[in-house]
Amino acid sequence: MPDRQERSAAFWLLLPAMLGIGLFTVLPMLGTLGLSFMQWDLLGSPKWVGLGNYTDLAADPLFYKVMGQTALFVILYVGLDIGLALGLAAALDKQRRGAAILRAAYFLPVVTSMVAGAILWGWLLDPRYGMFNALLAPLGLGPVRWLSDPRWALPTLVVVSVWKHLGYDMLLILAGLQGIPSSQLEAASLDGAGPWARFRHVTLPMLAPTLVMVGMLATIRGFQTFDTVYLLTEGGPQRSTTTIGFWLFQNAFTFFKLGKASALAYTIFFVLAGLSALQWHYYRRREGQEG
């Protein structure tokens, strides 16, 4: 057991971080919670409305449209992101020549400013001069209005978001793969298991905790998506790319409905908390059945 002097030293070392978390995380969260029960336009005094902001959201048809689009975005984004990240991590797991360079290349978008990335993607997706339509032209396809056609805008933003975060999730999964004992794979190989059987029955089960964590992080990112929408489509066309994160921003800083925006923020919080709990419960239950 640590003595009194060690506990005191630990307290003073942790105090700056605790104060930072309290001032810049806990207090704003509590303030947002209180504001979600008020009506405030930044000009007058806040007016207490109780659950009025939440009931207004429940009665607003646009809320359900935005939630549906956000759910579709998250499903497409999480599925594509984890699938590609798992495939890349498996391909780069072995120490082959150039593997380190490829890992750095795939991670580069993570540390690239989204503003710079949006400018690049705007050029690539331009309906008249963009590279993607130039590649489709010899096939007799297009031009496709990637960002101005309601049918294509949301899937296009999914692809851009995957490009931005793929390298990060790939490295997390790669770390999980490299933590799997080689003796397990060798034993399966000696038992006659081929590459696919080893991957399915040994690698995937042992990688499950990492995949659950990556899935949670990707789900949270999907619901919080804002910069991609703001920079490339501003929620259009015809609100086809308005996600809940972007609608929250509009309510707060375009329509100046701070109470409604705060209620939206806590709606996102409770949805994410519920989804994270379900994901973790599913993993623990599956782990218990396999154990």
Q: Is residue 261 part of a domain?
A: yes
pLDDT, tens digit (0-9, with 9 covering 90-100), for 46-72 = 999 999 999 999 999 999 999 999 999
Residues with Cβ < 8 Å from 67, sequence gap 6 or more? 244
The pLDDT, as a whole number, for residue 95 is 67
Q: Is residue 18 part of a domain?
A: no
pLDDT band of 18, cuts 50, 70, 90: very high
CATH assignment at residue 178: 1.10.3720.10
Range of the domain at 272: 59-112+150-290
pTM: 0.90
Number of domains in the chain: 1
pLDDT band of 290, cuts 50, 70, 90: low
pLDDT, tens digit (0-9, with 9 covering 90-100), for 67-104 = 999 999 999 999 999 999 999 998 888 767 778 888 88
Task: Give the closest residue to 290 by CA, choosing from 206, 189, 211, 194.
Answer: 206
- Chain-wide mean pLDDT for the chain? 90
Q: Is residue 246 part of a domain?
A: yes
Task: Give the residue carrying structure tokens 């297009």.
Answer: 142
Burial track 209-227 (b if 16+ CB lie within 10 A, e otherwise) = ebbbbbbbbbbebbbebeb
